[in-house]
Amino acid sequence: MMKNNKILYPIYILVLLFCFSSQLEAQVQFPRQGKIEFEKKLNIHKEIEGDTFYDSFKDKISKYQTTYFNLYFKDGKTLYEKGKENNEKIMFWSEDETTDDIVYSDIENGTFTKKQKVFEETFLINDSIRNIKWQITNETRDIAGFNCRKATGIILDSVYIIAFYTDQIPVSGGPLSYAKLPGMIMGVAIPRLNITIMATKLEMIEPKTEKMIPPAPGRAKKANYAGVIDQLRKSSISGWGSYGRKYLLKSLL
Amino acid sequence: MRKLTALFLVIGLFTITKSFAQHASLKGTVVDTTNKVNLRDAVITIMDRTDSSLVKFTRAVTDGSFAIKDILPGKYIIMISYPGYVEMIDTLLLKTGDALDYNQVALNTKAHLLQEVIVKQTIAPIRFKGDTMVFMADSFKVKPGATVEDLLKILPGISVNSKGEITAQGQQVQKVYVDGEEFFGDDPTMATQNLNKKDVKQIELFDKKTDQAILTGIDDGEKQKAINVVLKDDAKKGYFGRIEGGSDLNKYYQGKVTANRFTSTLKAGGYIGVDRTGRNAMSWEDMENFGGFTPVEENGETYLMFDNDSYSFFNSQGIPENLQSALMLNKKFGRLKNNTANNYSFNRQFIAGDSYTNSQYILPDTLYYFNQYNQNRSTRAKHGISTKTEINLDSMNTLTVNAKAGWTKSSGSSYGTSEYLSEERLRVNNSERSNSSDGTNNQAMADLFFKHKFNKNGTRSLTLSGGFSNTTNNNLGFLKNAINYYSNGNLDSSQVMDQLKRNINSSNTYKALASYVQPLGTKSTLNFNYTFNTSNSEQDIRTFEKMSTGKYDSLNALFSNHFIFKSSSHRGGLTYTYNTKKIYFRVGMALQDLSLQQTNLINDSSYSRNFINFFPNSNFRWKLSQSKSFSLSYSGSTQQPQLAQLQPILNNTDPLNLTIGNQALKPAFNHSFNFDFSDYKVMSGASKSIWGYFNFTENAFSSRTVVDIKGVRTTQTVNVSGNYNYYLRMSFGKKIKFLDMRYGIYPRINGSRFRSFVNGLENTTNTFSFTPEISISKNIEKKMDLYLSYNPTYTRSSSSINKGQVTKYWLQTIYFDLSYTISPGFMLSNNIRANYRQKLSPNDRSTNAFIWNINLEKKISKQKDLAVVLSVNDLLNQQIGFNRNVSSNFISESTYTMVQRYAMLSIRWKFSKNRKQNNDEE
């Protein structure tokens, strides 16, 4: 596949699928700490489908808006923040403003802290990790060299979400604050919002202890999830029609 | 899930022992019996049997043991998995207090699993198209709502495993295309699992060359299996359009028909509109549908350009009769998505109207009056064609051709009288003239652009371009003019003119351009450009006097001439751009060497001038946050005098207004400063912005006017210094929470200084105006839109020539818009513009007007595609067609014909098939 050249498989995590060894230990490694790079893609062509404004120059706009994030994990804690820069500019399309957001999750306690910018407001959201009724399927696929199982769920009442998790990373975390599956979530797809967030590689590094802390509040406004929803609903975004509703959903992922 | 369980090998025995806990629990140990290893970190997942939703999970500890407590009684599925091993899946029934012990759960590596695959085959239509094998989707029956993957699974020779990986004819399929394009990333399952089978026309299976081979053109012989999912035509084809028409059953009407057809590669459309109201121009929606927008990228900034060959139909004066029509065909072709856009248009406009203008010129020692009456009729008809074709030669080279041609026929006639009165209202002169002319204008232009990218993302590139344009004008007209000159109110002399004028002029322009962009690191670029421009135009004017024979055959040599103008320029420029997410900075300079030459073929004399022109510019923009930015820009440009300003051609079209040349004219240089700060707080709905500019011109072109004793005005272009103008606008907006409304305060000022010469005196006019606008608005989605704005403007104007006289007045304007949805599909909209102008003297005629337009729209069909619209233009019939222009040394009032009150009943029908509508629409 075309993407293969982009994905790096660190050799030290090579999984020995077939172990005929007579040794007493299994040969599979279970990384308990490290850094996973995620590639977030927004399908712009899908977003603008049917929008007559873009019709006449659709070909001149990139099909995807790509941004990168890193997920650090260690001792049952995860930190999700912006990864490498992608300086690509897309005509008549604003930049992904979620790149400055930081999500710290404490998997064992089931809580997360997210510093999120919504236009001029910065929130520090403290809440428990969203309970999603995950339905486990029998489909599996390979993401960044890991065999992942597909699970599906519904968030925000009606938004269908697909997650791919791997048994092989024994940390029940994932990108943003998606978690609570029996293994690390290596990929998330939200078809209604035309977004995919897929792992591209795992680096077996030990994240620095000072990194694995909740984002500093600074001047951010403290809130819980319900509080943020409430504030967004009251803001002028609610007057933007269908675009506003979509923006609202995107801000609440 | 049934399938899952069926596939399963369960090894290991379990016994059930009762415990006293309320909830059930289970435990066990996961081992690899073959290798005698405890499988630490194996995952034990408990799912609900009804919907396979996750209930609980745990991982085995070091010795492979696990325990799950507190499970509510119920029916479950248990799955025990370990990377590289075959999962154990079993059903589970737990009752209150159950404590299940699995003892040893043995997993086997995948290598030990013998897979038995049963392929069910349905014999069905399969065709071969060259090397491609085509499966007709409708011939394969699958369950309703099935995906493409479900379809693939039952196609002969193709199998799909649990990972979604597709194997065809024994080889793994590397790529899945949808209509020949990659779908949602490069992951084949995105297409196969997300597309609905019912939209699929056929599945094509073929061997694809590698990307490398396609790019290099060198066939390395390697082939990959690929699948192309061809969607049914009706999933991507459609049409849409609109028919509307209305009349007041008397003298006003307007109608419009648009129809568009589209497929994934083609867009064709037609547009025709007629009206007698002047309010039928292409709307934004029409322009979007017509596909005329082109994005333009320049120096890292992008904007939209609408390139449609129509002319303005908005006329405030006169009653127009308009016809506009256009045809359009846009097509994409070839593997590299070449694009061609072609247009044909025909526009015709007839306009008729009368006007009276009364003016007063005030000088320190005297004043005079000038009154004019004019009656105009004109017709213009134009055919136009245009094409824009973009051909991607390969991924690095693009060729673009732009060509346009237009043929215009026009004819017009006018009749007018004028009189010039002295301060004592004594006649100085009066005139009566009539004019008629017929003419043609033909234009053609073509440009060719070639762009070469040196690297893949195009940051280093070279653009070469060449083009020409040609214009030919032919005009034949009659001019009759009778002027009487008076002295002390008594007829002094008369001048009568009856002439035929033939005017032919043509011009050819050639230009060439080279532009090279060099990146400096990732954030900066340097652009070098060079433009060469040469134009050659010829103007031949012949004036013939009417002889006693009644024929126009005596050449008037004074007003006949034959000139050739040549102009050529070299322009070189350099621009540096620095662009990051937060900061955009550009600085550039261009130098132009321009030479102009005018040759008189009749007396064989020639006149030429050379100019060096400078064009500095810079722009700085700081994006402080997503909704807060600041920018500052400067641009400087040289304006060189026109040849007609340096050495005008004698023209007697209006003998009371003469122009003389000024060979000492220097080029003017204009400095323009702009700044802009805006901060919009989305969450709170508060906004702040300041915007302003300041322009000043060195050696600005102004006029020196002398009115002689006979009332003949002679004008010459002269250089003046000290001319400037400025504008400053602030805006503050906020939400009024308890009313759910917004209010805004928009104070703005603008001012200017303009210097000129009147009858040998220098006149400096200073104008200043201030408008503290306030507005409120309220919006209830799909229900109501309200906007009310109050604009009081104070104007002060003074001129040095009339020191005692300062003009000061208030003009108050109110705008009110209200649209209200009475019931779904029944909408009322009001639009009011009211003007109140302070009278400068009690005798002034009032220019106050209250213009109220109403629109009532009712959708009368279930599909909401048919609507009846009742619109009333100018309900109170206050559109008076009156305008007043006042400054301290000049007052002018004019009255003219214009479209007045009418009530129009229209019907509109919108039709569409397969067109996704924006959710906000209706």
What percentage of chain B has pLDDT greater than the value 90?
Answer: 35
Amino acid sitting at position B26: L
- Asked if residue B138 has pLDDT above 80, the reply is no
- Is the C-alpha dihedral spanning B857, B778, A156, A116 positive or negative? positive
B53 contacts A133? CB cut-off 8 A = yes
Query: What confidence category does residue B792 fall into, taking pLDDT thresholds of 50, 70 and 90?
Result: very high
| Contact: B683, A121; criterion CB under 8 Å | yes
Between β-strands B826-837 and B490-520, what pairing exists: parallel, antiparallel or unpaired? unpaired
- pLDDT over threshold 80, residue B374: yes
- Comparing CA positions, the residue from A136, A137, A127 lying closest to residue A214 is A127
Tokens 């992922």, residue located = A253
User: What confidence score (pLDDT) does residue B806 get?
Assistant: 84
Nearest residue in A to B31, CA atom: A26
List, for residues B540-584, the tens digit of each pLDDT value: 989 999 888 888 888 888 888 898 989 999 999 999 999 887 898
State the average pLDDT over residues B424-452.
Answer: 93
- Chain B residues close to A49, C-beta within 8 Å: 916
Kindly determine whether residue B82 and residue A26, on different chains, have CB atoms separated by under 8 Å.
yes
| Chain B residues closer than 8 Å to A46 by CB | 184
Residues 92-151 of A with CB under 8 A from B: 92, 94-95, 97, 117-121, 133-142, 147, 151
Residues of A in contact with B917 (CB under 8 A): 50
Chains A, B: CB contacts within 8 A come to 194
Q: Is B85 exposed, middle or buried (0-12, 13-18, 19+ CB in 10 A)?
A: buried
CB contact under 8 A, A167 and B84: no
> In Å, how far from its chain's centre is CA B338?
22
Q: Do B54 and A140 touch (CB under 8 A)?
A: no
Chain B, residues 548-567, CB within 8 A of chain A, namely none
Residues of B in contact with A18 (CB under 8 A): 84, 109-111
pLDDT at site B231: 72
- Of A26, A53, A134, which is closest to B288 when you measure between CB atoms? A53
Enter the tokens of residue B709: 């004793």
Of A43-57, A219-233, B174-188, B836-850, the one with minimum mean pLDDT is: B174-188
- Of B209-218, B299-308, B590-599, B671-680, which range is least confident? B209-218
Nearest to A182 among B45, B285, B293 (CB): B45
Helix (H) or strand (E) holding B853: strand B849-859
Report CB contact under 8 Å: B35, A22: yes
Of B82, B337, B522, Cβ closest to residue A167: B82
Q: What is the residue-wise DSSP string for A72-116?
A: EEETTEEEEEE-S------TT----GGGG-EEEEETTTTEEEEEE
Of B772, B776, B769, residue with least CA distance to B747: B772
Among B1, B2, B41, B301, which would you mutate to test the A interface (most chain A Cβ atoms within 10 Å of its Cβ)? B41
A212: closest CA of chain B, how far (Å)? 24
Q: What is the DSSP string of B308-370?
A: --------SSSEEEEEEEEEEEEEEETTTTEEEEEEEEEEEEEEEEEEEEEEEEE-SS-EEEE
3-state secondary structure of A228: helix
Question: What's the start-to-end Cα distance of chain A, in Å?
Answer: 29
Q: Is B657 on the interface with A (CB under 8 A)?
A: no
Name the percent of chain B in helix, strand, coil, to the closest 5.
Answer: 5, 65, 30
pLDDT, residue B221, reads 53
Inter-chain residue contact A91 with B302, CB threshold 8 Å: yes
Residue B123 pLDDT > 90, yes or no?
no
The whole-angstrom separation of Cα B765 and Cα B750 is 14
Nearest to B849 by CA among B873, B820, B879: B879
Q: Is B260 on the interface with A (CB under 8 A)?
A: no
pLDDT reported for residue B127: 64
Give the model's pLDDT for residue B419.
93
Residue B679: its chain A contacts at CB < 8 A? Answer: 120
* pLDDT confidence band for B110 (50 / 70 / 90): low
Identify the weakest region by mean pLDDT among B7-21, B394-408, B634-648.
Answer: B7-21
pLDDT score recorded for residue B122: 34
Range name among A94-103, B447-456, B812-821, B827-836 with the lowest pLDDT average: A94-103
* Contact in structure between B514 and B490 (CB atoms under 8 Å): no
* Matching residue, tokens 């003297």: B841
What's the rounded mean pLDDT across residues B465-470?
Answer: 95
Test B339 with A24 for CB contact under 8 angstroms.
Answer: no
H or E segment to which residue B787 belongs: strand B784-799
Determine which of A47-61, B271-285, B327-341 has the lowest per-residue pLDDT on average.
Answer: A47-61
Q: How far is CA B341 from the centre of its chain?
A: 16
CA distance A134 to chain B (A): 5
**Alpha carbon distances (Å) from B253 to B245, B310, B381, B854, B860:** 8, 20, 20, 16, 22
Say yes or no for a CB contact (<8 Å) between A136 and B628.
no
Q: Which residue has the higher pLDDT, B727 or B457?
A: B727
pLDDT-based confidence at residue B119 (cuts at 50, 70, 90): very low
| pLDDT over 60 at B88, yes or no | yes
Quick one: average pLDDT of B757-765? 88
H-type helices in B628-672, by residue range?
A: 643-646
Would you tell me which residues 1-60 of chain A have a C-beta closer than 8 angstroms to some C-beta of chain B?
Answer: 1-3, 15-26, 28, 30, 41, 43, 46, 49-53, 55-57, 59-60
Angle at which helices A225-234 and A241-251 pack, to 10 degrees?
160
Q: Which of B367-371, B763-767, B777-781, B871-875 has the lowest mean pLDDT?
A: B777-781
pLDDT at res. A252: 80
Q: How many residues does chain A have?
A: 253
Element (H, E) at B213: helix B211-216
d(CA B873, CA B836): 20
Nearest chain B alpha carbon to A131: B54
Q: How far away is chain A from the Cα of B626, in angstroms, using its nearest Cα?
A: 6
**Average pLDDT, stretch B794-802?**
87
pLDDT at position B191 is 65
**Whether B82 contacts chain A with CB within 8 A:** yes
Chain A: residue whose CA lies nearest to B110: A18
* Mean pLDDT across chain B: 83
What's the pLDDT tens digit per position in B584-632? 899 999 999 999 888 888 888 888 888 888 999 999 989 887 778 899 9
Q: Do the Cβ atoms of B578 and B523 come closer than 8 Å?
A: yes
Three-class SS state of B748: strand
From A170, which residue of chain B is nearest by alpha-carbon distance?
A: B41
Q: Which chain A residues are within 8 Å of B175, Cβ to Cβ? A: 1-2
pLDDT at B919: 35
Identify the pLDDT of residue B102: 81
Most B CBs within 10 Å: which of A236, A242, A243, A245, as the mutation test of the B interface?
Answer: A236
**In what helix (H) or strand (E) does residue B174 lie, and over which residues does it extend?**
strand B171-178
Q: What is the pLDDT of residue B670?
A: 93
φ, ψ at A55 (rounded to 5°): -50, -45
Look at B840 and A202; give whichever has higher pLDDT: A202
Q: Are B836 and B851 in contact (CB under 8 A)?
A: no
What residues in A contact B82, CB-CB < 8 Å?
26, 28, 167
Supply the pLDDT for residue B435. Answer: 92
Q: State the pLDDT confidence band at B144, using cuts at 50, 70 and 90.
A: low
Whether residue A231 lies within 8 A of chain B, CB to CB, comes out as yes
Residue A42 distance to chain B (closest CA, Å): 9
SS (H, E, C) B438-502: EEEEEEEEEEEEEEEECCCCCCCEEEEEEEEEEEEEEEEEEEEEEEEEEECCEEEEEEEEEEEEE
The 10s digit of each residue's pLDDT in A68-111 is 999 999 988 999 999 988 877 777 787 888 888 999 999 888 89
Beta carbons within 8 Å of B492's beta carbon, 6+ residues apart? B485, B486
Chain A: nearest CA to B696, how far in angstroms?
Answer: 34
pLDDT of A15 above 60? no
pLDDT exceeds 60 at position A17: no
| Closest chain B residue by Cα to residue A233 | B683
Cβ within 8 Å, pair A134-B54: yes
Residue A235: pLDDT over 70: yes
- For the cut 60, the answer to whether the pLDDT of residue B722 exceeds it is yes
Is residue B121 predicted with pLDDT exceeding 50? no
A226 CB near a chain B CB, below 8 Å? no
pLDDT at A11: 35
Per-residue pLDDT of B474-532, as tens digits, reads: 999 999 999 999 988 889 899 898 999 999 999 999 999 999 999 998 889 999 999 99
Q: Residues 6 or more apart from B587 whose CB is under 8 A from it?
A: B575, B576, B617, B618, B619
A91 to chain B nearest CA, in Å?
7
- Beta strands B490-520 and B126-129: pairing type? unpaired
Q: Do B916 and A232 touch (CB under 8 A)?
A: no
Tell whether the model's pLDDT for residue B903 goes beyond 80. Answer: yes
Residue-level pLDDT at A227: 84
Confidence at residue A25, expressed as pLDDT on a 0 to 100 scale = 41
Res B87: pLDDT: 82
CB of B166 closer than 8 Å to CB of B175: no
Give φ, ψ of A214 to 5 degrees: -60, 150
Q: Which pair of tokens denotes residue A197?
A: 């967030």
- List pLDDT tens digits, range A27-49: 678 888 999 999 999 988 888 87
- Burial grade of B409 (CB within 10 A; 0-12, 13-18, 19 or more): middle
Of the partner residues B53, B164, B190, the one whose CB lies closest to the CB of residue A139: B164
pLDDT on residue B841: 79
Average pLDDT of span B825-838: 91
- B694-706 pLDDT per residue, tens: 999 999 999 998 8
Chosen for mutation from B524, B626, B680, B787 (greatest number of chain A CBs closer than 10 Å) is B626
